[in-house]
C-alpha cells in the first residue's frame, strides 16, 4: 500500500506546503492536527515550531532508524515482545529497516529531497540519519483504535488509542440486497447451526489456495454456515464456483454486506477479517470472536495484540488449510471459550465507551497537553531500561560479534 500511496503524497507535497505556509501567515496556527501521511504539514509544523498532533498514525513512519524497541508494523511484534527478547530487537533493528528500504527506498529519497528544498530545519529530517524519535517525542500521536485502554501499553508513550470512532450505519434502512441477507441469516434449520462471516476488505486479494481452504472447511464442520463478502470480482466468481457444490442454505457469497448490522445478528458466532482497525473495532462492538488473516501494514501487529487478548486466532494465508481453518473456528465457538471471549470483548467495549468515545478522549488529550504540557502523560508502564531505550544491548551485541569475527580471522 505504501508503494502505491507514497507517490501521490509526494506529488502534492509542495502545493500543500505552500498553501499551509500562506495560511499560517494569515491566521498564525496555534495547533495543527495532521494526518500520518501529510508529510508537508508535519515538516512545516516542525520547521515553524507549531505544536502538532499526529492523527491515524500506525507504527510505520517512513524512517529507517527508529529504535529497536518501537514496533514498525511490518511484523507481529508488540513493544512488550521487543522488551522481552534481544533477538526480536536485533531483527527489528536490522532486518526490518532493510525491508523498509527495499520497498520504500526510492520514495523516501524523493521525500528527503522535497523536505530539504522546502524547509529551513533539515537536521533530523533525513530518513537515514538524525533522530526522528527525539524530533517527535513531545507530540501526541492519536490513533482512532477500537480499544481505549488495553492496547495502549503496546506502544511508546506518545501513542494514545482513543476508543471507538466507528461510523454509525443506519440499520433501519433495508435495501433489497440487505433484506435478502437478513432472510438468509435467520434461516436456521438446526439449533446447533452457527454462521461464520468472512470479509477481508476491498484492497486485499486472496489467492485461490486460500479461498479453497476456507470453503473446503465446510466439509469438516457440518453445522457451520458461511457468509462471504468478496469485493474482488475474480475472487468472487472463483468462490461462487467452489461453493456451488453446497446447499445454498449453507453458504452465501456477496460483493458487499452491511457489516455492522450482520455482525450484530445473534446467529453469527465468528468474524473472519484481515485485521484492519475498523474490522477489529466492529468485531469488538458486536462482541464477536475473530479469525484474523493479516495481509500488510499494521494488520499483523493488530492480530498479535488481539491474540494477546485471547479473543482471536491468527492464521497465515500462505499456509492455510481447511483443517487449520476448521480447528480455529471450533476453538472459538466451543461453548466455554466462546462465553469467555464474549465477556472479554464486552469489557474491552465498555472500557472504551467509559472514556466517552474517541472524539471526547482526543479533545481531552489535546486540551490537557495544551494547558499542562505532555511529560506527565508518559506513564510508568512505558518506561524502558536505559540500555534498551538507548540501544546499548544492540550495539554491545554487534560489537561482540565483530570482535569475535576479527579474532577468528586473525587465528
Could you give the count of Cα atoms lying within 13 Å of 32 in the half-sphere of its Cβ? 26
- Asked whether the predicted pLDDT for residue 358 surpasses 80, the reply is no
- For residue 27, is pLDDT > 70? yes
Mean pLDDT of 179-187: 89
Cα dist from 143 to 89, 146, 345, 362, 390, whole Å: 24, 9, 19, 9, 26
84-93, 296-305, 315-324, 362-371 — which is least confidently predicted? 296-305
What mean pLDDT comes out for the span 152-177?
57
- Is residue 281 predicted with pLDDT exceeding 90? no
Q: Which domains does the chain have, with CATH numbers?
A: 2-164+360-396 (3.40.50), 176-338 (3.40.50.2000)
Q: Return the pLDDT at 180.
A: 87
How high is the pLDDT of residue 63?
A: 46
**What tens digit of pLDDT does each residue of 117-128 get?**
888 765 444 444
The per-residue pLDDT for 137 is 59
Confidence (pLDDT) at 185: 92
Question: Which percentage of the chain shows pLDDT scores above 90?
Answer: 26
> 70-79, 102-111, 375-384: which range is least confident on average?
70-79
pLDDT per residue as tens digits for the range 306-356: 888 888 999 998 899 999 999 999 999 987 889 999 998 888 777 666 655
The C-alpha atoms of residue 393 and residue 68 are separated, in whole angstroms, by 10
Percent of the chain at pLDDT exceeding 70: 74
Average pLDDT score over the chain:
79
**Pick the residue with more confidence: 34 or 131?**
34
Give the span between the Cα atoms of 330 and 291, in whole angstroms: 11
Please calculate the CA angle 227-231-236 and round it to the nearest 5 degrees.
65
Q: Is pLDDT of 136 > 60?
A: no
Give the best-scoring range by mean pLDDT among 58-72, 322-336, 376-390. 322-336
Give the pLDDT score at 138.
65
What are the φ and ψ backbone dihedral angles of 301, each rounded to 5 degrees? -65, -40
Residue 118 DSSP one-character state: H
Give mean pLDDT, residues 210-214. 94
Q: Which is nearest to 320 in space by CA: 267, 272, 268, 382?
A: 272
Res 354: pLDDT: 65
Of 167 and 389, the one with more pLDDT = 389
Which tens digits make up the pLDDT trace of 35-45? 777 888 988 98
Q: How confident is the model at residue 213 (pLDDT cuts 50, 70, 90)?
A: very high
d(CA 79, CA 192): 41
Per-residue pLDDT, 326: 96
Region 163-190 average pLDDT:
71
Measure the CA–CA gap between 291 and 141, rounded to whole angstroms. Answer: 28
CA 358 to chain centre: 16
Tell whether the torsion through CA atoms of 183, 189, 192 and 193 is positive or negative: negative
The residue behind cell 498553501 is 19
Nearest to 277 by CA among 155, 136, 146: 146
Task: Average the pLDDT over 86-106 and give the result.
Answer: 78
Mean pLDDT over 223-240 rounds to: 92
CB 330 within 8 A of CB 101: no
Using alpha carbons, select from 365, 80, 328 the residue that is nearest to residue 213: 328
What is the average per-residue pLDDT within 404-411? Answer: 82
Distance of CA 254 to the CA centre of its chain: 25
| Rg, Å, the chain Cα set | 24
Rounded Cα–Cα distance for residues 76 and 84 (Å):
14
The pLDDT assigned to 82 comes to: 74
Q: What is the mean pLDDT of residues 360-388?
A: 73
Confidence of residue 115 (pLDDT cuts 50, 70, 90): confident
Q: Is the pLDDT assigned to residue 379 strictly greater than 80?
A: no
**What value does the mean pLDDT take over residues 53-78?**
57
Separation CA 36–CA 21 (nearest Å): 19
| pLDDT confidence of residue 296 | 72
Amino acid at each position: 500500500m505504501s508503494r502505491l500511496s507514497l507517490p501521490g503524497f509526494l506529488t502534492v507535497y509542495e502545493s500543500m506546503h505552500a498553501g499551509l505556509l500562506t495560511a499560517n501567515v494569515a491566521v498564525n496556527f496555534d495547533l495543527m492536527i495532521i494526518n500520518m501521511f501529510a508529510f508537508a504539514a508535519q515538516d512545516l509544523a516542525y520547521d515553524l515550531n507549531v505544536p502538532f498532533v499526529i492523527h491515524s498514525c500506525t507504527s510505520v513512519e517512513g524512517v529507517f532508524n527508529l529504535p529497536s524497541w518501537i514496533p514498525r508494523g511490518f511484523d507481529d511484534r508488540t513493544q512488550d515482545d521487543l522488551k522481552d527478547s534481544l533477538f526480536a530487537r536485533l531483527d527489528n533493528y536490522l532486518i526490518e529497516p532493510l525491508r523498509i528500504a527495499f520497498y520504500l527506498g526510492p520514495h523516501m529519497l524523493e521525500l528527503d529531497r522535497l523536505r530539504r528544498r522546502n524547509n529551513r530545519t533539515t537536521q533530523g529530517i533525513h530518513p537515514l540519519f538524525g533522530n526522528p524519535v527525539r524530533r517527535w517525542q513531545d507530540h501526541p500521536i492519536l490513533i482512532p483504535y477500537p480499544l481505549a485502554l488495553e492496547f495502549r501499553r503496546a506502544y511508546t508513550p506518545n501513542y494514545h488509542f482513543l476508543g471507538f470512532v466507528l461510523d454509525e450505519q443506519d440499520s433501519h434502512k433495508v435495501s433489497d440486497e440487505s433484506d435478502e441477507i437478513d432472510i438468509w441469516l435467520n434461516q436456521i434449520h438446526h439449533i446447533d447451526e452457527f454462521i461464520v462471516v468472512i470479509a477481508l476488505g476491498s484492497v486485499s486479494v486472496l489467492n485461490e489456495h486460500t479461498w479453497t481452504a476456507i470453503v473446503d472447511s465446510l466439509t469438516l464442520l457440518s453445522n457451520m454456515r458461511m457468509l462471504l463478502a468478496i469485493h474482488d470480482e475474480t475472487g468472487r466468481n472463483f468462490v461462487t464456483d467452489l461453493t456451488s457444490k453446497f446447499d445454498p442454505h449453507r453458504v452465501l457469497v456477496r460483493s458487499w454486506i452491511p457489516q455492522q448490522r450482520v455482525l450484530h445478528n445473534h446467529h453469527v458466532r465468528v468474524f473472519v477479517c484481515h485485521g484492519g482497525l475498523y474490522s477489529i473495532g466492529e468485531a469488538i462492538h458486536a462482541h464477536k470472536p475473530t479469525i484474523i488473516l493479516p495481509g500488510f501494514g499494521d494488520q499483523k501487529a493488530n492480530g498479535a495484540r488481539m491474540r494477546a487478548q485471547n479473543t482471536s486466532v491468527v492464521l497465515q494465508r500462505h499456509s492455510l488449510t481447511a483443517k487449520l481453518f476448521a480447528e480455529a473456528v471450533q476453538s472459538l465457538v466451543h461453548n466455554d471459550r466462546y462465553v469467555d471471549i464474549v465477556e472479554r470483548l464486552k469489557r474491552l467495549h465498555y472500557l472504551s465507551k467509559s472514556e466517552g468515545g474517541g472524539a471526547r478522549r482526543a479533545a481531552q488529550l489535546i486540551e490537557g497537553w495544551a494547558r499542562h504540557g505532555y511529560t506527565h502523560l508518559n506513564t510508568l508502564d512505558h518506561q524502558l531500561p536505559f540500555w534498551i531505550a538507548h540501544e546499548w544491548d544492540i550495539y554491545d551485541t554487534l560489537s561482540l560479534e565483530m570482535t569475535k569475527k576479527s579474532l577468528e580471522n586473525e587465528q
